[in-house]
Amino acid sequence: MGLIYISHRMEEVWELADRVTVLRDGQHVGTRSMSDGTKPSDIVRMMVGRDVDDLYGSHRREAGEVRLRVEDATGDEASGVGPVSFDVRAGEVVAMVGLIGAGRTEVARILYGADPCTGGSISLDGKPVTVKHPADAMKQGIGLLPESRKDQALFLDMSVKDNITVSTLSRYSKVGILGRGKLTEAVREIMKKLNVRARSPELESRALSGGNQQKLVLGRLLLQAPSLLILDEPTRGVDIGAKSEIYRIVDDIAAEGTAVLVISSELPEAMGIADRLLVMRKGQVVADVAAADATEEVLMEHATGVYSSPSMGN
């Protein structure tokens, strides 16, 4: 029996396949035999159109003034967060890493008002803010892409257009009447900017791939024009091609002056896209590491609590 196995998990491909065929943008890119010495990097290059070393781009950003400042913030007992202190500057991408249960997502939820902040302070552009509800966060210019798009962000039975504009409908209405022409034009612009592959803005969102669904949520956030964007596992469950595009989008967003906080479980990804990395352990930020100084070993040592500075020896 001949089998066609569709996957973007490299370890599965290498374990099961005799030949690999790569499609990109609906076109046949090439076919390789595994017996010919084909390497994972060869397949990735075919999938994204460039070398693995260039996957994250060559961003060179100049950070601006402090956009977000968190000082001794704590969550409720259930969150286990705090005290937490850190900052993110305008035009800067900061990655938050740590082991599962370290409190990364809980920090994002506190900043977005989904969970209560029970102590400490949060400031935006030097002004203290109170965020008790996601609606407060949106008014303050904070956007959140949650870690589970299907459970926490998307309306799968609704169209691409409705998913992108659901948070900004008031912008396209006058005296309660929706200006559908302007709304559709805005949606098409976002779809073009993010390279959303859908036959029509009216297509049901569940029909899209995981990467395109993720772009819908990003598009919704970009229409809100946030000054602080929090991305919780932005590339979870998407293929390598979509990851590459999301990295480009993050880079573009930061280049426009938005402060970006990325939560990622993939250390190579975090190191590849960030200017700085915050390491969390037991609900606290235990290290602030410049991207140039970050290695997987150093980050994991901080995350597990076994780090010792070079001056301290072993």
- pTM (2 d.p.): 0.83
Q: Are 40 and 240 in contact (CB under 8 A)?
A: no
Residue by residue, DSSP assigns 245-262 as: HHHHHHHHHHHTT-EEEE
- Domains annotated for the chain, with CATH where assigned, are 10-54 (no CATH), 66-312 (3.40.50.300)
CA distance 183 to 307: 52
Name every residue whose Cβ is closer than 8 Å to that of residue 148 and which is 6 or more positions away in sequence: none
Residue 263's pLDDT is 97
Encode the chain (314 residues) as per-residue pLDDT tens digits. 999 998 877 788 888 999 999 987 678 989 999 888 888 878 877 876 766 556 776 666 788 999 999 999 999 988 899 899 999 999 999 999 999 899 999 999 999 999 999 999 999 999 999 999 999 999 999 999 999 998 999 999 999 999 999 988 888 777 777 777 888 889 999 999 999 988 889 999 999 988 999 999 999 999 999 999 999 999 998 888 888 889 999 999 999 999 999 999 989 899 999 999 999 999 999 999 999 999 999 999 999 987 655 544 44
Residue 314's pLDDT is 40
Q: Are 220 and 144 in contact (CB under 8 A)?
A: no
Residue 173's pLDDT is 78
Burial (CB count within 10 angstroms: exposed 0-12, middle 13-18, buried 19+), residue 254: buried
Q: What amino acid is encoded at 36 in this protein?
A: D
Name every residue whose Cβ is closer than 8 Å to that of residue 1 and which is 6 or more positions away in sequence: none
Q: Are 235 and 213 in contact (CB under 8 A)?
A: no
Q: At what angle do helices 210-223 and 180-194 cross, to 10 degrees?
A: 120
Residue 312's pLDDT is 40
Helix, strand, coil % (nearest 5) of the chain? Answer: 40, 25, 35
Give whole-number Cα distances, 87 to 186, 225, 263, 304, in Å. 32, 20, 14, 22
Task: Convert 60-77 to b/e letters by CB count within 10 Å (16 or more is b).
Answer: eeebeebbbbbeebbbee
Q: How many CB atoms lie within 10 A of CB 22?
A: 18
Radius of gyration of the CA atoms of the chain, in A = 21
CA distance 159 to 200: 9
Residue 182's pLDDT is 85
Q: How far apart are the first and last CA of the chain?
A: 56
Name every residue whose Cβ is closer than 8 Å to that of residue 299 and which is 6 or more positions away in sequence: 97, 267, 270, 271, 277, 279, 287, 289
